[in-house]
């Protein structure tokens, strides 16, 4: 069996202009990838060239610039469909990001399908964008929100999942990879369990999308959402994939231009998929940037990316475990390169401030998972999240920076 050639990280880093700069006089060590990823030149160039050489609005112009922009936008949609293993580009709806994608489903699908006595199932590790929209939908419909608990190791309690998901469940909305713990959830098992009860499944792929291939057909889910900026693409662009039959039955999320077929004061008819859900002037440049980001990642090797990230995660866990007073929140058996930790006696914000002075960028806070923080009995954590452009030197800088924070605050 052939193995992928090791990732050439030195070459990869040259593709990302931001690593040419210093931060506070130090080499930039960017470890906030779970929040947002850096952008390769290919993505920056795609947006720049569009604005400089080809900008026009789409779908309504008979002139050349508009036709070219429309064709480029349509190619971006088709590229996303291929990337996700979706057979039909019309199943790809461009949104602002994961949050809007979930809100679209909770509002549109929820309005049409939820009623009193129905249940929506989420997990205890959901991002706020996977909690609040469903709370709002349940409140509007008189439905009940139920929660799959998380174990001490930071994994879904599958025994409780089998009890929570039942005959009243209409939809299960689950994060594919935890943004705080790095837990890779057994989504195939949850999908199978939901399907036995006739429930739909939405997967939040914001964290999964940059760490390995996603095949929605193989996953068996009904909705999949992700954000472009988590995949080395622009902000303000994201994707909702859903089965065509489900989208067809859903009412529009917003009204306006581009999503209509005919409008009179008496009645409006709507455009076909996916335009029914893309009201107004869309983020054309963002879609083109996302296309470039997907092409960039596809030009690497998923096997090489995963091997490199797994090696970095193992090195980071070993390095940090040697620091007295450091505690990891959760110890999942299957983990993406995301770590959530605390240092005894020092607030995470203080650790993050010292790390920043050393040029190390991490996240400190509740990471939009306040219920999960409450589950582990902490108000906040330090989150270090790795990507394929990170190096062993970055991991060492993290460890050294935390040790310096301990020295500063403990003396």
Note whether 122 and 173 are within 8 A (CB): yes
Determine the average pLDDT of the residues in 76-87.
97
Q: How confident is the model at residue 2 (pLDDT cuts 50, 70, 90)?
A: low
pLDDT, position 411: 67
Average pLDDT in the chain: 97
Which helix (H) or strand (E) segment holds residue 195: the answer is: helix 187-196
Q: Global pTM?
A: 0.97
Grouping H, G, I as helix, E, B as strand and the rest as coil, residue 296 is helix
Burial class (CB in 10 A: 0-12, 13-18, 19+), 260: middle
| Sign, CA torsion 116/198/271/269 | negative
CA triplet 247, 252, 255: central angle to 5 degrees? 150
Given 137, 290, 368, 405, the catalytic residue: 368
Determine the average pLDDT of the residues in 96-111.
98
d(CA 83, CA 70): 20
61 compared with 24, residue with greater pLDDT:
24
d(CA 24, CA 358): 7
Is residue 368 part of the annotated active site? The answer reads: yes
Q: Which domains, ranges and CATH numbers included, belong to the chain?
A: 9-30+301-410 (3.90.1150.10), 44-298 (3.40.640.10)
Lowest mean pLDDT of 59-68, 100-109, 286-295, name the range: 59-68
Q: Which long-range contacts (CB under 8 A, 24 or more apart) does 9-14 make?
A: 9/308, 9/388, 9/389, 9/390, 9/391, 12/300, 12/388, 12/389, 13/389, 13/391
């Amino acid at each position: 069996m052939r193995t992928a050639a090791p990732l050439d990280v030195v070459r990869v880093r040259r593709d990302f202009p931001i690593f040419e700069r210093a931060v506070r006089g130090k080499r930039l060590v960017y470890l906030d990838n779970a929040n947002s990823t850096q952008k390769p030149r290919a993505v920056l160039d795609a947006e720049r060239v569009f604005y400089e050489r080809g900008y026009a609005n789409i779908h309504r112009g008979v002139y050349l610039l508009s036709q070219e922009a429309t064709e480029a936008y349509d190619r971006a949609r088709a590229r996303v469909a291929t990337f996700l293993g979706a057979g039909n580009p019309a199943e790809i709806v461009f949104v602002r990001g994961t949050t809007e994608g979930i809100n679209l489903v909770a509002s549109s699908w929820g309005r049409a399908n939820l009623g009193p006595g129905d249940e929506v199932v989420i997990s205890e590790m959901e991002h706020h964008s996977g909690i609040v929209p469903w709370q709002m939908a349940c409140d509007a419909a008189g439905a009940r929100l139920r929660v799959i608990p998380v174990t001490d190791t930071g994994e879904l309690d599958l025994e409780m999942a089998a009890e929570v998901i039942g005959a009243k469940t209409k939809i299960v909305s689950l994060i594919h990879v935890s943004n705080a713990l790095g837990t890779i959830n057994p989504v195939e098992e949850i999908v199978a369990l939901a399907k036995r009860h006739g429930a739909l499944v939405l997967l939040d792929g914001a964290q999964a999308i940059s760490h390995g291939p996603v095949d929605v057909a193989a996953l068996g889910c009904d909705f999949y959402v992700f954000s472009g900026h988590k995949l080395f693409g622009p902000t303000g662009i994201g994707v909702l994939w859903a089965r065509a039959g489900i989208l067809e039955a859903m009412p529009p999320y917003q009204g306006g231009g581009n999503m209509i077929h005919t409008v009179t004061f008496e009645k409006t008819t709507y455009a076909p998929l996916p335009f029914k859900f893309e009201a107004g002037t869309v983020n054309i440049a963002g879609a083109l940037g996302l296309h470039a980001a997907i092409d960039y990642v596809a030009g690497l090797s998923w096997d090489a990316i995963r091997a490199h990230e797994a090696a970095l995660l193992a090195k980071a866990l070993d390095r940090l475990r040697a620091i007295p007073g450091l505690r990891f929140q959760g110890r999942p058996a299957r983990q993406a390169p995301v770590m959530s930790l605390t240092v005894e006696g020092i607030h995470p914000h203080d650790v993050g401030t010292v790390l920043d002075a050393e040029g190390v960028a991490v996240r400190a806070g509740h990471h939009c998972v306040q219920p999960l923080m409450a589950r582990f009995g902490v108000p906040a954590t330090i989150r270090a999240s790795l990507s394929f452009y990170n190096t062993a030197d970055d991991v060492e800088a993290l460890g050294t920076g935390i040790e310096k924070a301990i020295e500063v605050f403990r003396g």
